[in-house]
Chain A
Amino acid sequence: MENGQQQSYSIRKFKEKAFLALVFAAALLAVVPLISLLGFVVYKGIGALNLDFFLHTPVPVGEKGGGMANAIVGTLMIVGLGCLFSLPIGLLGGLWLAEWGKGKRGFLIRYTVDVMSGFPTIIFGMFAYVLFVLTMRRFSALAGGFALALVMLPYITKTTEEMVKMVPRTLKESALALGIPEWKVMLFVVLRTAWSGIFTGIMLAVARAAGETAPLLFTAFNNQYWNLQLDQPTASMTVQIYNYAISPFEEWNRMAWAGSLALVAIILAITLVVRKYSKRVVYG
């Protein structure tokens, strides 16, 4: 082989290695923010996280102890309401898109759902404010749940559509051929077959909603005390964290860190559980 060719080959090899190193470095950099954020939250939050945090309601500045028990329950309540509002519509809407949404109407609805999934979530909060808070003349878990439902709806609709589309037509035909009415075929065969995938989508939507602050600021508002009534202002972890974080008191700042850690842990747990159980059904 000629010397010139040999040399250009070694240069090319070097270039290739340099490129590989660059790509790897970029990939590494992409996870640095997440890792450092997690580390920081753990470092700052772990000190203030104790049993009291999960059992007690907030205490005024200066008092010792106190926790976010009411906010944890409040978040569960509001997200639960969000599920209640968004699940029926999301599941049935996704089913419609997958099975009958081929035409112009389907295109329009699909497009709207896509736009909605990228919408600033504070707008959903404003919508819920006008619809619920102004008419009921008070902040409420109901209003917060409605705002979160709007956050979750596009995710649930989209996953349902995708998962239902993956169910082979032969299954639907087999069920129809048994003389089962179409609506039952859709609910008990098609939707049930797609369910494990849809469930993954629902849990991811729940994780997303549980981490939202903006839609709750002027809907569920906040509450320093226990509240289990749906038409009353209700605490949530995110809004509580927000209030504590912007306060000038060091103890409250520490509580904000503890709340952040707890919230991140909950969301991480949901995501991990989903990953573990989201093995897709293999068809045929």
Chain B
Amino acid sequence: MDEISKKIEVIGLSAWFGDKQALKSINMYMQEKCITAIIGPSGCGKSTFVRCLNRMHETIPGAAAGGRIMLDGENINDPKIDPVLVRRKVGMVFQKPAPFPTMSIYDNVASGIKLNGRTNKSELDRVVEQSLKQAAIWEEVKDSLSKPGIGLSGGQQQRLCIARALAVKPEVLLLDEPCSALDPISTGKIEELLHELKKEFTIVIVTHNMQQAARVADFTGFFLLGDLIEFDVTKNIFTAPADKRTEEYVTGRFG
């Protein structure tokens, strides 16, 4: 694998909630413009892991993280680095679709730009349209941009949230179980969308659903009790895992 194309390199990342260690010195990397899936049973630290990648972990009282996260060679886990700037480069979509309830579809997508101070109307229109197109929801909402975002279906809301995250032009997109609250058809749409998005973005997806990881991801990391057990190209994880625990998990013997 080409050294240069590592978008993110995680070196010795540990994370805590108070005294409880949630991640134990994780070493891993994310290939540029690829999808990396994080799998593992509940409580294995996979959500904590992605939340460290955009410094969201530290917003929880008592939470802390150590180690280095190199984004294009710069350690974004350095306390001297402003987390607000990190989050503009590393966007995130959460498990439960959460459009801002007081805002229209348009304002939801525009919120990241507007609240960051840039408000050129024609530029904003362009970015909103582009983001909604990228999130494959433009055709469904283009005539109702002024309607509230919470009026959409669950699957549409999640794509709206993806559009909202894309509008601030991140380089990396983190998705924390984005489909676990959605029906299979909406899930299918989002998976299709991810294939399109990886042409432009580096994507990390946490998922409970192993078929989903197998379908969408180029690389897969298997977490267990705060350890990264195995990390490899997805095909190897599912067909020829090196670790017995990985094999047991992906074949459904536990978790």
Contacts and interface: CB of A to CB of B under 8 A. Distances in A.
Contact of B101 (A173, A181, A184, A283): A283
A102 B61 CA distance: 10
B102 A192 contact: yes
Given A171-B98, A281-B102, A177 B92 contact: yes
A193 B102 contact: yes
A178 B87 contact: yes
Contacts of A185: 115
Contacts of B86: 179
Interface string B70-103: 0000000000000011111101101011101110
B165 A193 contact: no
Contacts of B59: 173, 176
Interface in A179-221: 179-182, 184-185, 188-189, 192-193, 195
B98 A168 contact: yes
Determine the interface band of chain A, counting residues with CB < 8 A from chain B: 20 to 34
A5 interface: no
B98 A179 contact: no
A178 B165 contact: yes
Interface string B39-56: 000000000000000101
B56 A179 contact: no
Contacts of A177: 54, 56, 87, 91-92, 94, 165
B164 interface: yes
A282 B101 CA distance: 8
A174 B94 contact: yes
A283 B131 CA distance: 24
A27 to B, nearest CB: 37
A274 interface: no
A181 to B, nearest CB: 5
Contact of A178 (B85, B101, B112, B150): B112
A192 B61 CA distance: 23
- Interface on chain A toward B: helix, strand, loop, or mixed SS? helix
A281 B102 CA distance: 8
Nearest to B92: A177
A284 interface: yes
Given A170-B94, A193-B101, A284-B96, A175 B111 contact: yes
Contacts of B217: none
A284 B98 contact: yes
A235 B76 CA distance: 62
Contacts of A281: 101-102
B120 interface: no
A179 B112 contact: yes
Contacts of B102: 192-193, 195, 281
B22 interface: no
A173 B54 CA distance: 11
A195 B56 CA distance: 25
Interface string B150-177: 1000000000010011001000000000
Contacts of A170: 94, 96, 98
Nearest to A281: B101
Interface string B59-75: 10100000000000000
A211 B94 CA distance: 47
Given A102-B61, A177-B56, A188 B165 contact: no
Contact of A173 (B61, B85, B94, B164): B94
Contacts of A282: 101, 150
A15 B74 CA distance: 79
Contacts of A283: 101
Contacts of B165: 177-178
Contacts of B101: 171, 193, 281-284
A178 B111 contact: yes
13 contacts: A173-B59, A177-B56, A177-B92, A178-B112, A178-B164, A178-B165, A179-B168, A180-B111, A182-B84, A189-B111, A282-B101, A284-B96, A284-B150
- Considering the complex of A and B, which 10 residue pairs feature the smallest CB-CB distances, nearest first? A179-B88, A178-B112, A177-B92, A179-B87, A170-B98, A180-B115, A174-B98, A184-B115, A281-B101, A192-B102
